[in-house]
Structure 1
Amino acid sequence: MNHIIHCKCVKCGRTYAPAADITICECGGILDVIYDYESIKTRFNKEVLARRDDPTMWRYRELLPIEEDTVPTGLQVGMSPLYEAQKIAEDLGVKRLYIKDDGVNPTASLKDRASAMAVTKAIEAGYDTIACSSTGNAASSLAGNAAKAGLKTYIFVPSRAPKGKIAQLMMFGANLTAVDGSYEETFELSKAAIDKYGWYNRNAAINPYLSEGKKTVAHEICEQLDFNAPDFVAVSVGDGCTIAGVYKGLYDMYRVGLIDRIPRIISVQAQGCCPINTAVMNGEDWRPQEENTYADSIAVGVPRNPDKAINAIKDSDGICVNVTDDEIREAQKYLAKNAGVFGEPAGVTATAGLMKLSREGKLPHDTTIVSIVTGNGLKDIDSAIRSVGEPIHCGNDLAEFEEKFGL
């Protein structure tokens, strides 16, 4: 990979060659992939993208950590729609709002981007088995992408994971373990098993290539806006890998000259589990927190990628906002009703953050904002039904129908 200089530890600065199965630094720090942007600029630009007919995340392969001759073997991931939401923009009091619906990916979440990268790197490294821990979406996305590529998977999830995600895992043929404990305990069990059996490690904060897959959501946003950078990008945050990837994707596009500035990132966490935002807001080191939110995908009390996440917020002059579960439920219904996008609780948390900032008068009016929906609402039907209630029941009787609807 001659377009990559090295992988660099975000803590101590030690560098490593970009091997396909590299994990973390000797000091325990997360690695960042450092690109040769000056070289990449000579062969990657707007004209190249305009001629490219690949409708997937791999259209940005010059900015991805794969070998030149690698042919990705996975599902068709990426190029999710970017919808302008005029009604919501008016309600929020901003110039323009766009919704990036990543719930349309093959297994219905943004995590497909990371899993597609993991599967590709595992094949490059010669592995036949890949494993991870997850609150649900990373697991189901890995199982689906690995099934397409013919790899065996071992998956570890907390037993609280929603049934929709469990069903996906089982259908994709994963070797699934539901752990009776927190996400932290789930992660530790997966780490012990991976270390013992030598499987390829898909855990996002261990494997530096996973956020490189996630960053393609930001590449797409820039291209879909004709390389006119928005003022803000709102992201729901759990373990920190997604927000780190979003910042890296924006940074990539800035460094190769395709956008003229890096948008400010709005980091949104659930009030009941917000260790990253708390650290930034208080100007202190992050501390573990309880996982007290129904938004399971971001219920991460011990984030595994806090350093990159905190750097992303600070380096973009970002904003932190925490929202309650009730505010997330409100956003889930509001987004579906006013934009036609049905997101799972964690998937709409970014939008919940925008709604809260608007109520507090903290959103500048003359701005363009992109809110990323990271997962589809069908992932967690039970939560959705609790939010909107049961349907009105009626017999085959027009008069009864009219009475119940007040017609």
Structure 2
Amino acid sequence: MKNVINCRCVKCGREYPAKPDITACECGGILDVIYDYEYIKTKLNKEVLKKRTESTMWRYRELLPIEEETEPAGLRVGMSPLYEAPAVAADLGIGKLYIKDDGVNPTASLKDRASAMAVTKAIEAGYDTIACSSTGNAASSLAGNAAKAGLKTYIFVPARAPKGKIAQLMMFGANLTAVDGSYEETFELSKAAIDKYGWYNRNAAINPYLGEGKKTVAHEICEQLDFIAPDYVAVSVGDGCTVAGVYKGLYDMYMVGLIDKLPRIISVQAEGCCPINTAVMSGEPWQPQEENTYADSIAVGVPRNPDKAINAIKDSDGICVNVSDDEIRAAQRYLAKKTGVFGEPAGVTATAGLLKLSREGRLPKDATIVSIVTGNGLKDIDSAIKSVGEPVHCKNDLSEFESKFGLF
């Protein structure tokens, strides 16, 4: 890969050749893919992108760690819509707000970006089986993308995973294990099985290439805004891989000269499970926390990518905000009614954070902000119904209908 220099540990700085099946550093630290941005500048610019017909995440392949001859595998992922939301911007008291709806990806979450990269790298490395642990979205995205690529999957999720995600996994033919325990216990079981059987490891905090897939959401945001960088990008945060990927994508675009400033990250976590934000705000090392939130996709008490996540927030001069489950529920209803975007609880947590920051007077009035919705609301119908309530029931009687709705 001419565009990649090597992989470097974010903890100890040790460097490794960028092999397709590389995982973590010997010290236990997470690896970061290091690019030759000067070389990439000779291959990628606004005019090149303007002429490019590829309308998936792979349109940015000069900024992705795949071989030049590699044919991307998996489903059609990326180029999700970026909606301007003037009514929400007015409510927030800011200049402009955009909603990046990644719930329209093939398996309905941003995690498809990482899984498409995972199956592509697994094939590069010659594997026929791929495995991961997940709170749900990474699992279903892996199962779908692997099914398309013809790979076998072994997937581990906490037993609490919503039925919608379980249904996806089973339909895609995954070998699924629902673990009676926390996400931490689920991760440990997946790690033990992967180590024993030698499967390709899709766990995002172990495999450095998966964040490189996730970062394409930031590439798209920059291009969709005509390369005028927003002031802030709001992200819901669980294990830290997504927020790290978003920052890496923004950094890529800045380093190759496609945007002229780095946006600030707004990191939003649930109050009942916020180890990364707690570490940033306190200045102390992160500590494990209980997983006390109904937003299952970000209920990660032991984050597996804390170093990259914390660095992303700090390096961007970012903002941390924690929100309650009630604030997440309110944001889910609000966003759907105001914009037509139906996000799952974790998917709307970033927007919940913006609403809270606005109430606290912490958003500049002229700011341009992008809020990423990371997953579709149909992933967790039970939670949605509890949030909005049951429909009005009525017999086939116009008078009864009018009475129930006060129409006279």
**TM-score, length-normalised on structure 1?**
1.00
Q: Secondary structure at the match of 2:245?
A: helix
Instruction: Tell me which amino acid in the other structure corresponds to 2:287.
Output: R
- Following superposition, the deviation at residue 352 of structure 1 comes to 0.1
Instruction: Tell me which amino acid in the other structure corresponds to 2:60.
Output: Y
1:351-394 CA distances to partner (integer Å, 9 max, x unpaired)?
00000000000000001000000000000000000000000000
Instruction: Tell me which amino acid in the other structure corresponds to 1:173.
Output: G
Distance in structure 1 (CA, Å) of the matches to 2:269 and 2:367: 22
1:173-195 CA distances to partner (integer Å, 9 max, x unpaired)?
00000000000000000000000
Q: Aligned residue for 2:351?
A: 351
Q: Secondary structure at the match of 2:99?
A: strand
Q: Aligned residue for 1:292?
A: 292
Unpaired segments ≥5 residues, structure 2: none
1:138-217 matches, cutoff 5 A: 138-217=138-217
1:191-340 matches, cutoff 5 A: 191-340=191-340
Distance in structure 2 (CA, Å) of the matches to 1:401 and 1:31: 61
1:101-120 matches, cutoff 5 A: 101-120=101-120
Instruction: Tell me which amino acid in the other structure corresponds to 1:49.
Output: L
Distance in structure 2 (CA, Å) of the matches to 1:3 and 1:399: 69
Q: Secondary structure at the match of 2:155?
A: strand
Q: Secondary structure at the match of 1:233?
A: strand
- Following superposition, the deviation at residue 249 of structure 1 comes to 0.1
Q: Secondary structure at the match of 1:269?
A: strand
Q: Secondary structure at the match of 2:228?
A: coil
Q: Aligned residue for 1:389?
A: 389
Q: Is residue 2:115 matched to residue 1:122?
A: no
1:275-327 CA distances to partner (integer Å, 9 max, x unpaired)?
00000000000000000000000000000000000000000000000000000
Q: Aligned residue for 2:2?
A: 2
Instruction: Tell me which amino acid in the other structure corresponds to 1:294.
Output: Y
Unpaired segments ≥5 residues, structure 1: none
Q: Is residue 2:72 matched to residue 1:72?
A: yes
Distance in structure 1 (CA, Å) of the matches to 2:224 and 2:200: 34
1:108-144 CA distances to partner (integer Å, 9 max, x unpaired)?
0000000000000000000000000000000000000
Q: Secondary structure at the match of 1:349?
A: helix
Q: Aligned residue for 2:23?
A: 23
- Following superposition, the deviation at residue 211 of structure 1 comes to 0.3
Distance in structure 1 (CA, Å) of the matches to 2:239 and 2:33: 19
Distance in structure 2 (CA, Å) of the matches to 1:356 and 1:259: 29
How many residue pairs match? The answer is 407
Distance in structure 1 (CA, Å) of the matches to 2:376 and 2:153: 23
Instruction: Tell me which amino acid in the other structure corresponds to 1:323.
Output: V
- Following superposition, the deviation at residue 2 of structure 1 comes to 1.5
Distance in structure 2 (CA, Å) of the matches to 1:74 and 1:334: 34
Distance in structure 2 (CA, Å) of the matches to 1:226 and 1:54: 17
Instruction: Tell me which amino acid in the other structure corresponds to 1:363.
Output: L
Q: Aligned residue for 1:360?
A: 360
Instruction: Tell me which amino acid in the other structure corresponds to 2:347.
Output: G
Instruction: Tell me which amino acid in the other structure corresponds to 1:275.
Output: P
1:330-352 CA distances to partner (integer Å, 9 max, x unpaired)?
00000000000000000000000
**TM-score, length-normalised on structure 2?**
1.00
Q: Aligned residue for 2:375?
A: 375
Distance in structure 2 (CA, Å) of the matches to 1:185 and 1:42: 46
Q: Secondary structure at the match of 1:144?
A: helix
- Following superposition, the deviation at residue 99 of structure 1 comes to 0.1
1:383-406 CA distances to partner (integer Å, 9 max, x unpaired)?
000000000000000000000000
Instruction: Tell me which amino acid in the other structure corresponds to 2:207.
Output: N
Instruction: Tell me which amino acid in the other structure corresponds to 2:300.
Output: V
Distance in structure 2 (CA, Å) of the matches to 1:171 and 1:74: 16
Identity among equivalent pairs (%): 86
Q: Secondary structure at the match of 2:371?
A: strand
Q: Secondary structure at the match of 2:48?
A: helix
- Following superposition, the deviation at residue 73 of structure 1 comes to 1.6
Distance in structure 2 (CA, Å) of the matches to 1:243 and 1:51: 30
Q: Secondary structure at the match of 1:185?
A: helix
- Following superposition, the deviation at residue 258 of structure 1 comes to 0.2
Instruction: Tell me which amino acid in the other structure corresponds to 1:310.
Output: I
Distance in structure 2 (CA, Å) of the matches to 1:386 and 1:325: 12
Q: Aligned residue for 1:404?
A: 404
Q: Secondary structure at the match of 2:83?
A: strand
1:203-247 CA distances to partner (integer Å, 9 max, x unpaired)?
000000000000000000000000000000000000000000000
- Following superposition, the deviation at residue 74 of structure 1 comes to 1.1
Instruction: Tell me which amino acid in the other structure corresponds to 1:343.
Output: G
Q: Write out the 4+ residue segments of structure 1 that deviate beyond 3 Å after TM superposition.
A: none
- Following superposition, the deviation at residue 97 of structure 1 comes to 0.1
Distance in structure 2 (CA, Å) of the matches to 1:216 and 1:262: 15
